[in-house]
Amino acid sequence: MRGAVYEMMNWWLDRGVDGFRMDVINFISKVTDLPDGQVPERALYGDAYPYFGQGPRIHEFLHEMHERVFAGRDDRYLTVGEMPGVDVEQARQFTDPANGELDMVFQFEHVDLDHGPGGKWDYRPATVLDLKRNLSKWQEGLAEVGWNSLYWNNHDQPRVVSRFGDDGEHRVESAKALATVLHLMRGTPYVYQGEELGMTNVPFATIDDFRDIETLNHYAEAVDILGAPAEAVLTALRRTSRDNARTPMQWTPDANAGFTTGTPWIPANPNAAEINAEAEVDDPDSVFAHYRALIDLRHRSEVVATGDYELQLPEHPQIFAYSRSLGGRSLLVLANLTGSVATFDPAALPGWEGAEVLLQGRGAETQAASGALQPWEALVLSRG
C-alpha cells in the first residue's frame, strides 16, 4: 500500500507540483492492538488520541516517504504535515532537516486557546497574553531547527475576525491588526479564502442552516442524548462550527455572492452585499489592500523572511509587540488587539524614536511615539 502512495506522489512531482500538504499525517501509525480510549466525564466516546497521535512508527514512515519520494530530487518542493496535538519539541523533530521527514507542520495550539475543558464547543475567551505567549513560544522553539506554518484560518476553523477580532465596529481594523501580527513573524504565512477580505462568521439561525457533519452530530448528541439546552448548543455552534469557513467565497454583491449561478451547498453569508472582493480590490484602505502590502513587504524584506524574532512588552495585556532583526536592520511590529486605546511607556522600546513607519493599519496619524495605540491599531516601524 505504501508503495502505491509513493508512486502517486512521484507521479505528481514529475508533473510539476511543488509539494504536498498532508492531512493529519501524524495519525498514520496506530497502536495495533486497538485499546479503548478513556471516556471523559459527560462524554459519549473514549479519547483514542494516545493510541494514534505520534504513533510508534510515525518517524519510520515519514523518513521512508522522504527517501522514496523526495531524496535526490534537485528541484524545489515543500512538505507540510497537518499534525493536531503536536507540541514544539515534536515539531522540531519532525522538521529537523537532519531527520529527513517534513519541512513544516500545521500545529493547533494557538487555535485551541479558546477551547475550554470540554473541548472546542466549550468556549473560553483567549486573551492577548494567551495569543502572544503561545505564538512566541513557537517562534522561539523553532528558531534554530524547523520552520513555522503561520495561519489564522482554514477549512476547520471559524473566521479569525469573529474569533479573535471584532467583526462589528472594528472589523476592518481588527482584520488588519491580526494579519499584521501573523504575517510578519518568522515562517510561511497561509491565507485562507476570504480571510484577505475580512470575511466573518455566519449568523446561523437554526440547526437546519448547518451542513457540517461534525456540527450536526454534536447537536444531536448534546441535545437529544445528553439533554443540553438547544439554544446554548446553538450558541456554541454559531461561534465555532466549521461551516463558518465553508460558505461561498464572497466575490461580488450579487446572488450567491457571485460564487455560482446555481444553488450552492450552503447559502452565502448575508453580509456578502457589503464584504466582497469587488468592493475591496481597488480600495487602498481595504483589508485586501493591507494583505497585499504585507505580502509585498515579506517579498522585499530579508528581515521579515529570515530575521530573528524577539517579543517586546511581554506582559502588556493589550499590545502584541515584537521585533525582527537581521544584520543591522530591524522591524518593530506593534498591534493593539483590543477595542480600547492602549497606552505604553515608549522608554520600554528604546531606539525606536523617529523610526520610519513602513505600514499602518489605520488611516489616522499614529500616536505611538507618545505611547498610545488606537483600538485595533497596527504599526510596522523600520530602522537601520
Assigned C-alpha cell, 15: 508533473
Inside any domain, residue 286:
no
Instruction: Give me the pLDDT at residue 370, please.
Output: 79
* Span 20-74, pLDDT tens digits: 999 999 999 999 998 999 998 878 899 999 999 999 999 999 999 999 999 888 7
Residue from 68, 28, 35 nearest 51 by CA: 35
Assigned C-alpha cell, 313: 512588552
Q: To 10 degrees, what angle do helices 128-141 and 88-95 make?
A: 30
- How would you classify residue 153: left for phi > 0, otherwise alpha for psi between -120 and 50, otherwise beta? beta
Domain end among 280, 299, 319: 280
Tell me which residue range forms the domain holding 191.
2-280
Tell me: do 338 and 269 sit in the same domain.
no
Query: Is pLDDT at 378 greater than 80 in this prediction?
Result: yes
Assigned C-alpha cell, 172: 476592518
Rounded-to-integer distance, Cα 296 and Cα 301, Å? 9
Inside any domain, residue 154:
yes
Instruction: Give me the pLDDT at residue 367, please.
Output: 63
Query: Is pLDDT at 153 greater than 80 in this prediction?
Result: yes
> Active-site positions?
23, 82
Domain of 354, CATH number, reads 2.60.40.1180
How far apart, in Å, are the Cα atoms of 172 and each of 95, 195, 322? 35, 11, 22
Tell me: do 255 and 342 sit in the same domain.
no
Tell me: do 259 and 143 sit in the same domain.
yes
Q: To 10 degrees, what angle do helices 287-300 and 171-183 make?
A: 20
Tell me: do 124 and 238 sit in the same domain.
yes
Inside any domain, residue 294:
no
* Span 238-294, pLDDT tens digits: 999 999 999 999 999 999 999 999 999 999 999 999 999 999 999 999 999 999 999
What is the SS3 string spanning the chain? Answer: CHHHHHHHHHHHHHCCCCEEEECCHHHCCCCCCCCCCECCCCCCCCECHHHCCCCCCHHHHHHHHHHHHHCCCCCCCEEEEECCCCCHHHHHHHHCHHHCCCCEEECCCHHHCCEECCEEEEECCCCHHHHHHHHHHHHHHCCCCCCEEECCCCCCCCCHHHHCCCCCCCHHHHHHHHHHHHHCCCCEECCCCCHHHCCCCCCCCCHHHCCCHHHHHHHHHHHHHCCCCHHHHHHHHHHHCHHHHCCCCCCCCCHHHHCCCCCCCCCCCHHHHCCCHHHHCCCCCCHHHHHHHHHHHHHHCHHHHHCEEEEECCCCCCEEEEEEEECCEEEEEEEECCCCCEECCHHHCCCCCCCEEEEECCCCCCEHHHCEECCCCEEEEEEC
Rounded-to-integer distance, Cα 88 and Cα 109, Å? 10
How far apart, in Å, are the Cα atoms of 41 and each of 44, 220, 348? 9, 18, 47
* Span 317-371, pLDDT tens digits: 999 999 999 999 999 999 999 999 999 999 999 999 889 999 988 755 556 667 9
Tell me: do 251 and 313 sit in the same domain.
no
Inside any domain, residue 288:
no
Q: How many domains would you assign to the chain?
A: 2
Tell me: do 248 and 321 sit in the same domain.
no
Tell me: do 313 and 271 sit in the same domain.
no
* Mean pLDDT of the region 307-323: 98
Inside any domain, residue 60:
yes
Q: CA neighbours within 13 Å on the CB side: how many for 66?
A: 20
Contact criterion met (CB below 8 Å) for 75 and 107: no
Rounded-to-integer distance, Cα 140 and Cα 309, Å? 7
Instruction: Give me the pLDDT at residue 105, please.
Output: 96
Tell me: do 229 and 164 sit in the same domain.
yes
- How would you classify residue 274: left for phi > 0, otherwise alpha for psi between -120 and 50, otherwise beta? alpha
* Span 190-238, pLDDT tens digits: 999 999 999 999 999 999 999 999 999 999 999 999 999 999 999 999 9
Assigned C-alpha cell, 173: 481594523
Tell me: do 30 and 127 sit in the same domain.
yes
Tell me: do 317 and 223 sit in the same domain.
no
With the C-alpha atoms ordered 7, 2, 48, 94, is the resulting torsion angle positive or negative? negative
Rounded-to-integer distance, Cα 171 and Cα 169, Å? 6
Instruction: Give me the pLDDT at residue 178, please.
Output: 98
Inside any domain, residue 299:
no
Q: How far does Cα 236 stand from its chain's mean position?
A: 20
Instruction: Give me the pLDDT at residue 215, please.
Output: 98
Inside any domain, residue 289:
no
Assigned C-alpha cell, 70: 523526495
Which residue is listed with cell 504513533? 55
Contact criterion met (CB below 8 Å) for 247 and 276: no
Rounded-to-integer distance, Cα 384 and Cα 382, Å? 7
Inside any domain, residue 295:
no
Domain end among 280, 299, 333: 280
Tell me: do 243 and 337 sit in the same domain.
no
Tell me: do 198 and 334 sit in the same domain.
no
Instruction: Give me the pLDDT at residue 363, please.
Output: 59
Instruction: Give me the pLDDT at residue 2, please.
Output: 84
Q: CA neighbours within 13 Å on the CB side: how many for 174?
A: 23
Instruction: Give me the pLDDT at residue 37, please.
Output: 92
Domain end among 280, 300, 319: 280
Query: Is pLDDT at 75 greater than 80 in this prediction?
Result: no
